């Protein structure tokens, strides 16, 4: 079977796409390709200056590109609400919402609401954003919500007794990152079930980039994390961000992609290669956990989906 590349993407003229964390890494590479294909791309970033710099670079490289820069801090539900309100005032459709922004931090930190930072931003922030934009998704035929997970989700465990590592209890960088990425998948699969139950013309799909060279791991990470990444780079087991973006691009645009699928690289244990449908962990398909996580996420964020389905 032929390897899927960006050349297989359809024309995206007239489409409106949001990418959280679109100013760098996988998000930036996806934004460039979306713009090449004719979409209007909204770079949603915590740092507006960085988003505007990315916007200018894409337009410099692709003069016909339509790219907007907007501010969102997924670690603040007030900021998420402000972004959603601003987007809804400016746009009447949303073809692709890419829940992409991610981080990995070594120390226990919290969001504005007091949730552990990785779970609070990568899961709760994106959960709230999707819910607040659900009316635009519902109004756009064929809309997709693409949420970026990681094979790190396989290390994640959901503990409803201490879901957000309150006061740092049981916190470690690996445990928090794994839990957030597992939650991304539980959310995706439950969202797809709700789309199907409600008869909406929309799809929820997940993807992961494999081992891609991005700014997720920085000098702020513990030395053992950086040494592990450097060793992978030395062994040639890390691909560039452009290649790492392919699973995301396929999940977002392949006409044959189905709701509830999970895309990742096809080689070396999903660390690199071309995008294919891959399998996530047994824990990510736990129906009871998915339903309970949804209910708890609504309670924690104050964002209720039901009125929009």
DSSP bridge pairs for 296: none
Known active-site residue 305: no
Tokens of 303: 């964002």
Do residues 206 and 183 make contact, with C-beta atoms less than 8 angstroms apart?
no
The one catalytic residue in 28, 108, 177, 305 is 177
Catalytic residue annotation: 177
């Amino acid at each position: 079977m032929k390897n899927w590349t960006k050349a297989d993407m359809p024309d995206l003229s007239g489409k409106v796409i949001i990418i959280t964390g679109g100013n760098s890494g996988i998000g930036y590479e996806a934004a460039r390709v979306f713009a090449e294909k004719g979409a209007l791309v909204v770079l949603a970033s915590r740092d507006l200056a960085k988003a505007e710099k990315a916007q200018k670079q894409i337009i410099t490289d692709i003069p016909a590109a339509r790219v907007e820069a907007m501010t969102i801090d997924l670690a603040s539900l007030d900021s998420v609400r402000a972004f959603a309100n601003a987007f809804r005032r400016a746009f009447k459709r949303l073809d692709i919402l890419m829940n992409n922004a991610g981080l990995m931090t070594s120390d226990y930190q919290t969001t504005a609401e007091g949730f552990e930072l990785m779970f609070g931003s990568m899961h709760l922030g994106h959960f709230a954003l999707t819910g607040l934009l659900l009316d635009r998704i519902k109004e756009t035929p064929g809309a997709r919500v693409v949420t970026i997970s990681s094979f790190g989700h396989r290390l994640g465990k959901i503990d409803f007794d201490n879901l957000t590592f309150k006061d740092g209890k049981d916190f470690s960088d690996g445990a928090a990152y794994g839990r957030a990425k597992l939650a991304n998948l539980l959310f995706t699969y439950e969202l797809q079930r709700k789309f199907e139950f409600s008869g909406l013309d929309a799809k929820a799909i997940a993807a992961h980039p494999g081992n891609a060279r991005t700014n997720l791991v920085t000098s702020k990470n513990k030395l053992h994390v950086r040494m592990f990444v450097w060793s992978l780079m030395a062994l040639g087991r890390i691909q560039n961000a452009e290649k790492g973006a392919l699973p995301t691009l396929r999940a977002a645009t392949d006409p044959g992609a189905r709701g509830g699928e999970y895309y990742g690289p096809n080689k070396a244990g999903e660390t690199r290669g071309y995008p294919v449908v891959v399998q996530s962990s047994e824990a990510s398909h736990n129906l009871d956990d998915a339903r309970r996580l949804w209910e708890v996420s609504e309670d924690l964020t104050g964002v209720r989906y039901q009125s929009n389905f």
